[in-house]
Amino acid sequence: MPARHTKGRTQPRRTSLTAPSTLAALAALLAIARLPRADAAYKPLKTYAGSNFFDAWDFYGHYDNLTNGDIDFVNRTDSSDLAYINSAGNAIIKMDNTSTVLYPNKRRSVRIQSQDTYPIGSLWVFDFVHVPYGCSVWPAAWSQATVWPQGGEIDTFEGVNLMQTNQYALHTTSGCTNSNSSASNFTGTLTYGDCDTSANSNSGCTILDPRTSSYGAAFASNGGGVYATEFSKNGISIWFFPRANVPSDLSSNSSAPNPTGWGEPAARYGGSSCDVPTFFAPQHLVIDITACGDWAGHVTNTTGCPLKTDLCYTSFVLNSSNYNTAYFEIPSIRVYSNADLAANSSASATATNTATSASASGSSAVKSAAGRTRAGSSLEAVVAGAAVLIGGWALL
């Protein structure tokens, strides 16, 4: 640091560490350094709820050319019967369960993606009253980077057909893995350990929730529940809470969720086997429902839905009543920011800047979260000042 010119003095003044005032100042600085950071708690960043729920999402508006489902995803203009707010004030996202579909046409459904992206240091909370299920039905609530798979994918909620429990997963480039020992303490059952999209037919590194209340009819009969995903530089953790067990700090009016009080997550990834800033960039939230396709269409017999013909499509898609339970009912989706969990990660900062420039229409949340990260450096500056003092120089 250049010396300041004060009354002709061009060198910083040497100060004795034994001076009482100096020792007192040093003690105060060290005490501050030991205190919890003021920005360590999660703070509200974005809420999707009520009449404005759909305002900040993009509708896919194309047939399912991503997972090869027998679905036409509607655009915003044509979505009013499939994406709307019900009388309870909750968002409904559903498959068409009324139209007659003639062979070889596809059934209408919805896929939406958030315009904003959310960087490392974010927590998103899906509050669901009902989730889709049924033969051929493949719903998901998940996230992905602007560039996939380089920026990673996090599957918070996903299942097919009449599965009994939810499946969590990550999808990444080569090098990210998971095991019962590499990710500390999760309650789910690890089924695949390699997150690489080119391995195991892009199954991802998957963990099954042990509770039947996490998916399907049992989920609905219990009044739904809450899924929370913590996207931290230290790891990715996902919790599920049935309605009766939702923590008070995850209620809809909570402004300060605290994952340290939630117990072990159902799924956790990270540690030395998968460095989060290396494999993940800021994430778009995605909600969709497709039918048959690469997963649901190939495991019908093992997930409660034996085929009536030789194809998933002709067995189920042509029958509109098959989709009476194929809908999400969503009181809210909330996103929180915690700068402490993004700090000291140059890869995270670089990824944030890249995604911001790549998705200008969704840049506001990224900028807001990045701003909190930068503000979090103030304490380090104070401690750095203490280091200068320890060296024996007082910059006045």
DSSP state letter for 37? P
Active site residue 153: yes
φ, ψ of residue 113 to 5 degrees: the values are -135, 135
Active site residue 380: no
- Candidate list 153, 264, 329, 380, residue with the active-site label: 153
Structure-token match 């605290």, residue found: 258
Distance in angstroms (rounded) separating the CA atoms of residues 213 and 216: 8
**Dihedral of the alpha carbons of 14, 17, 19, 20, in degrees to the nearest 10:** 140
Say if residues 93 and 83 touch (Cβ distance below 8 Å).
Answer: yes
Distance in angstroms (rounded) separating the CA atoms of residues 320 and 313: 12
Pick from 317, 349, 271, 251: nearest CA to 44: 251
The CA angle 365-205-161, to the nearest 5 degrees, is 90
Say if residues 262 and 116 touch (Cβ distance below 8 Å).
Answer: no
Catalytic residues: 153, 158
